[in-house]
Structure 1
Amino acid sequence: MLIEIKDLRKKYIMGEMEVEALRGVNLNISTNEFVSIMGPSGSGKSTLMNILGCLDTPSSGQYLFDSIDISSRTDDELSEIRNQKIGFIFQTFNLLPKLDALQNVELPLIYSGVEKHLRKDLAKKALKRLGLENRMNHKPNELSGGQRQRVAIARALVTNPGIILADEPTGNLDTKTGFEIMEIFKELHQEGNTIILITHEPEIAEQADRGIIIRDGLITKDALNTTIISPNKTILTQV
């Protein structure tokens, strides 16, 4: 099992108030699964995402990632795990504006200590894989939204991570481009990648193989057929 979560809880102190964002989450995710996680604002999905991505630690409970107990790791250890085992993709792309596409994709390799000649080669291969061989020397403001997200996907893949964690990856894209990005995720999944997709869009979530809904800090639905999220499948044919 790649991810094992048992009775996960997360509390925040806000002034004199204690807010329990996660209230006993149990979740297992196997290698090569394609999972979507949905939930309304304040449901706890962002907190869960941060813990899954080793950006935060739980208040109690257990999170085992690739047999590593995340709950007891230091900040430096969590940083190393993120860099080596997790590829992040964000709604706002998070590309550095002064760097071109190739340099943006190289960044995780720099942090990993990969030699310059090798990291350039790996970054070029990742961009070519995403159909961006003619955009390597373009800066983010010279790229379309879909191209910027492809650069972000290439950056996430370049270290060959254990999981790809995508936070609202289609949120800033038009419908057509959003579905094109989802086709890329499907191809990556077919190639053996484990993908966890955070979204508020039912038509995006239902394209994963497994759908999870979180409300009020608890998982309320978890099913292999994500049509539980949006039973009206005609939404895809109407786009």
Structure 2
Amino acid sequence: MTIKNQTFIASVISSAVFIAPAVSASDWYTGLEVGGGKHSSSFSSNVEVDKDDPVKEAAGKLDSANYLRINLGRYITDNVRVYGYAQSGSKSEVSYIETDFETTDKTKFEKNDYQFGVGSDYLYQFNDDWSFVAGGNLGYYNSSLDFKFSQKDDEGNSASLKKSSTNRGAVAGLNAGFGYNLTEDWTIETGLKYSMFNDNEHKLKFDDEENSQLKYKYKDATQYYLNASYRF
């Protein structure tokens, strides 16, 4: 995602947010949203890593992009709405245990993330009950990756190592789906969402003879979502 694209999306959403208070035909609403999907993730290292090494397998198993989101917004008209959101990603965790005759090694990775941002949607009404929804959002993400390694031998001796990485940056998304009005106040929506993350790369550096370094990159994410909103 280029700076030009970020600026364009931000301008569209910001304009909608500032125009909203000046329009009289508006209603407030709040909603709860759950979603699930995967990041487009990749792994790299400055040293050679075996195909079956736990650190390489973790990249494919830490790409979960499940989340829980709370929205609070306002309808400018019956067809246009703006909102702010707070989102928490579900914790992704991968553990590996390797045991030989003398030692037991445990490797653990844990990924967490959250977002805050604003967005805008356009709703095309098919009839009084059904509508098509399309929109976009721009926000701020915080993503963390923790690495833990521990070793125990049959004599009771133990050792451990911990490394952590945190990233922060911009996230932009597009969404499209369908909504159904259960009542005048309650609506449910479901659809597909695509999110783009700016520089969401985690680097883990180790103080060994090779100065080894692991990189996990979580780029875009494709997710299905379901939400319920109340209009008041």
- Shorter-chain TM band: under 0.3
Q: Which structure has the highest helix share of the two?
A: 1
Q: Which has the higher contact order (CA 8 A, sep 6+)?
A: 1
Return the index of the structure with the highest Cα Rg. Answer: 2
Indicate the structure with greater strand content: 2
TM-score of the pair, normalised by structure 2: 0.21
TM-score normalized with structure 1 length = 0.21
